[in-house]
Amino acid sequence: MHQDAGAPLSAVVVGAGVGGLTAALALARAGLSVTVVEQAQALGEVGAGLQVSPNATRVLFNLGLEAELSALAFRPEAVEARGWRRGQEISQAPLGESARERYGFPYFHMHRADLISVLEQACRAEAGIALRLGSEVVACASDGTPALVLASGERLEADILVGADGIRSVVREALFGPAAPRFTGQVAWRGLVPAERLKDAGIRPVASLWMGPGAHFVHYFVRGGTLVNFVGVVERDDWREESWSSRGEAADLRRDFAGWHPTVQRIVEAAPEDGCFRWALFDRDPLPEWGRGAVTLLGDACHPTLPFMAQGACMAIEDAAVLAGCLAGCGRAGIPAALKRYAALRRTRTAGIQAGSRRNATIYHLPPPFSWARNLVMGAGLGMGSTMDGLYRYDALAAGTRPAA
C-alpha cells in the first residue's frame, strides 16, 4: 500500500492485548491511521486480575475511558504484606482516596477481560482504527517499507510497524533474530473465586501479599468486588507450559499451599476444579535497542516483566502514550528519529521495573532468618510503600513531549 505524501501516517500494530489496543487508540488520537492485527478470533476471557496503578489510569483516563473503567473496577483501600503462616501484618501502604489525592488518579483492580473489552470497544468506535482479528502474522520485513505477511498470504504495508505481540514476539524475532526466553524456575497459579463463597474468609478490601519460603500468594477483588482474583507463585522446575489457559489440578494447587494461613487455605479450597490455571514464568534481559528504521516494539515484546511489582500491563500502557507523543506531528522523514526517541525515553524506566520485579521474586521467597530481616525492613516503611512515588507519579503523557536524555 503506497501512501500519498499528504495522507496521515499509517501504523500497523501487531497484537490486541492491553498494550496493542492502548497504542492503537493513542496513535489514532495523535492523527495516525491504525490497523491492529491479532491472531485470536475473538478477544475474550483471557487472563484474570490486573492491578492498574495511577501511572496507567492517567493514560487511560486521558483517552476518555474513565467512566467505563470506573464502572467495572474495584478500588482497593491499601496494599499489605503478611506472613505466610501466622498472617501477621508486615507492612501496609494506603491506596483508595489517599492514592487519588496524592497522585491525581486512582488505583484500580480489574479483570483483564474487562480492560480489554473497554479498549476494544473504544478502538472499534474510533474512525481511524481498523481491528482485524483472526489475522496471524507469519513474516515481517523491517528493511525499507515495514510490511507484514499474514497466514492468508495477504501483505500489509504501513509507514510504521509496532510489535506489541508479547514475549515471543514475531516482530522482535524479525528485528533481532531468534532467542528463547529464560525460564525463571517459578510457576504461577491463577484463578477466580466468587466473593460470596468467601464471605467469612477474612478477605479485606485490599491487595494482600502473603510471603513464604520459596512461594508467595496474592489476592484481591475484581469486578466491583464480586470476584476474588488470586495468584500463587511457587519455585519449581517441573512445569514449563507458558500459556495462561493451561489448566492445573486443584489438588496440586492445594498441595503447593498446604500449611499456609487459613485465609489462603480458604481461597485455595474454594477454587473451582475446572478454574485453576498455571503457567511458567519466563523472562528476558532488557534490549539495548527496541527497533530499526520505522519498526519498533512495545510492552512484553521488548521488556517482559515478571508480575511481582504489578506493573507489566502498566508499562505497556505507558509505552503506548509515549510512543504516540513521539509520533504526534511527525512527518514521514522523521519516523526513525521519533521511534529512537521513544525507545530512549522508555528503556531506563522499563529496565528498572524488570530488575525490581526480579528482585521482588527473591525478596518475597526468603526463608528464615533472612525473612526476619526483610520483615523488619518492610515494617519500617522501606518496602512496597517507599517505591510508590517514583512509580505512580510518572507522567507518560508529558514524557512523550520531552527530548530523550
Contacting residues for 262 by C-beta, under 8 A, at least 6 apart: 87, 201, 202
Q: What is the pLDDT of residues 258-288, one digit of tens each?
A: 999 999 999 999 998 887 888 899 999 999 9
**Cα(341)–Cα(338) distance, integer angstroms:** 5
Q: Does residue 280 lie within any of the structural domains?
A: no
**Cα(11)–Cα(161) distance, integer angstroms:** 6
Q: Does residue 240 lie within any of the structural domains?
A: no
Looking at residue 239, what is its pLDDT? 59
> Does the pLDDT value for residue 90 go beyond 80?
yes
Cell of 14: 501487531
> Does the pLDDT value for residue 3 go beyond 70?
no
**Cα(162)–Cα(32) distance, integer angstroms:** 13
Whether residue 318 contacts residue 19, with contact meaning beta carbons closer than 8 Å, is answered with: no
Looking at residue 7, what is its pLDDT? 84
Crossing angle between the packed helical segments 96-103 and 54-62, to the nearest 10 degrees: 70
402-64-329 Cα angle (round to 5): 35
**Cα(137)–Cα(11) distance, integer angstroms:** 15
> Does the pLDDT value for residue 382 go beyond 60?
no
The CATH code of the domain that includes 305 is 3.50.50.60
**Residue range of the domain that includes 35:** 10-75+105-180+285-361+390-399
**Cα(104)–Cα(24) distance, integer angstroms:** 25
The single residue listed with the C-alpha cell 484481591 is 220
Q: Does residue 88 lie within any of the structural domains?
A: no
Tell me the backbone φ, ψ of residue 78, rounded to 5 degrees. Answer: -165, 170
Q: Does residue 15 lie within any of the structural domains?
A: yes
Mean pLDDT along residues 190-211: 96
3-state secondary structure of 51: strand
Q: Does residue 311 lie within any of the structural domains?
A: yes
Instruction: Name residue 109's beta-bridge partners.
Output: 51, 74
> Does the pLDDT value for residue 80 go beyond 90?
yes
| Number of domains the chain is built from | 1
Looking at residue 2, what is its pLDDT? 44
Q: Does residue 98 lie within any of the structural domains?
A: no
Whether residue 64 contacts residue 122, with contact meaning beta carbons closer than 8 Å, is answered with: yes
**Cα(74)–Cα(90) distance, integer angstroms:** 24
Looking at residue 274, what is its pLDDT? 80
Looking at residue 170, what is its pLDDT? 94
Confidence band for 240, pLDDT divided at 50, 70 and 90: low
Looking at residue 1, what is its pLDDT? 42
C-alpha distances in Å from residue 320, one per residue of 68, 139, 220, 324, 327: 19, 23, 26, 6, 11
Least confident of 91-95, 273-277, 310-314: 273-277
220 is catalytic: yes
**Cα(405)–Cα(397) distance, integer angstroms:** 17
Q: Does residue 405 lie within any of the structural domains?
A: no
Q: What is the mean pLDDT of the chain?
A: 92
Q: What is the pLDDT of residues 130-181, one digit of tens each?
A: 999 999 999 998 777 899 999 999 999 999 999 999 999 999 999 999 988 9
User: Of 110, 11, 82, which is closest to residue 335 (Cα–Cα)?
Assistant: 11
Q: Does residue 320 lie within any of the structural domains?
A: yes
The answer to whether the peptide bond before residue 54 is cis (omega within 30 degrees of 0) is no
Helix (H) or strand (E) run with residue 13 in it: strand 10-14
Strand bridging mode 49-52 / 108-111 = antiparallel
- Of the candidates 103, 220, 342, 394, the residue annotated as catalytic is 220
Q: What percentage of the chain has pLDDT greater than the value 70?
A: 93
Confidence band for 184, pLDDT divided at 50, 70 and 90: very high
**Cα(124)–Cα(120) distance, integer angstroms:** 6
Strand bridging mode 108-111 / 277-283 = unpaired
Looking at residue 384, what is its pLDDT? 54
**Cα(308)–Cα(355) distance, integer angstroms:** 10
Mean pLDDT along residues 339-356: 97
Helix (H) or strand (E) run with residue 36 in it: strand 33-37
Instruction: Give this prediction's pTM.
Output: 0.94
Q: What is the DSSP string of 178-233?
A: --PPEEEEEEEEEEEEEGGGGTTS---SSEEEEEETTEEEEEEEEGGGTEEEEEEE
